Amino acid sequence: MQKDDIVFSARNLTRSFFMGEVEIQALRGVDLELYQGEFVVLLGASGSGKSTLLNILGGLDSATSGEVHYRDQDLSRASEAQLTRFRRDHVGFVFQFYNLIPSLTARENVAIVTDIAKAPMRPEEALALVGLTERQDHFPSQLSGGEQQRVAIARAIAKNPSVLLCDEPTGALDSKTGIRVLQVLQDINQRLGTTTAVITHNASIADMADRMIRLTDGRVSEIHCNTHKRQPDELSW
């Protein structure tokens, strides 16, 4: 990867929380770079710091110390208003739980994002990219769990983000449905060139990524580049 292709650069990131008088160190000096258009899996056990790191990269949280840059923007010194603008303009989020509004159709759930984005795609276009054209007028209660997650992905990509951050996007799904969701994420990454980072505790998912970054006790313990990536339907679950 070329230096000009760096999307995120983190240096010596730490993040501490207090539970009562006990200090919890979620991140303990993380250094990493994410590159334009790559598909990265962040792997690690529960409590290893994966979600904390993703939240800092996405501007949902701030580091206790260290620096993180999105291209030439220093997120570690950004104001709340600047972080809000960063999230709105550049980042799409997908979480384990779909967070859809029950009273709105799939199309209307996606339109919530397109109404505030600078250069969005049409909701219908985003839903077509995740294979839900025929389900766009259905309400969440009329959709399966996998379909609801695909609506959530459509909502995330509809604002044309340069970065897609996914926290356990298959965590609430069975293996067959999870594979379908991973296929959608892979397709979005390849079609749109969106830098995609996926958190998981499922080691087999790392086989489909360009790189696997393993976190252990708040530190990067391993980085592995895949020379031969596997397709989602080839993964053991």
Q: Give the residue among 236, 157, 215, 155 at the shortest CA–CA distance from 10.
A: 215
Q: Has residue 235 been placed in a domain?
A: no
Q: Please give the distance of CA 131 from its chain centroid, rounded to a whole number.
A: 19
Q: Has residue 212 been placed in a domain?
A: yes
Provide CB contacts within 8 A for 137, sequence distance 6+. 105, 106, 107
The reported pTM is 0.92
DSSP secondary structure, 109-175, as one string:
HHHHHHTT-SSPPPHHHHHHHTT-GGGTTS-GGGS-HHHHHHHHHHHHHTT--SEEEEESTTTTS-H
Domain of residue 116, residue span: 3-228
Contact (CB, 8 A) for 31 and 11: yes
Q: Has residue 236 been placed in a domain?
A: no
Query: Looking at the 3D structure of the chain, how many domains does it have?
Result: 1
DSSP assigned state of 229:
P
Q: Has residue 234 been placed in a domain?
A: no
Residue pLDDT tens, the chain, 237 long = 555 699 999 999 999 988 888 888 999 999 999 999 999 999 999 889 999 999 999 999 999 999 999 999 999 999 999 999 999 999 999 998 899 999 999 999 999 988 877 888 999 999 999 999 999 999 999 999 999 999 999 999 999 999 999 999 988 888 888 898 999 999 999 999 999 999 998 888 999 999 999 999 999 999 999 988 888 888 776
pLDDT for 40 equals: 96
Q: Has residue 127 been placed in a domain?
A: yes
pLDDT for 3 equals: 52
The domain that holds 79 is classified in CATH as 3.40.50.300
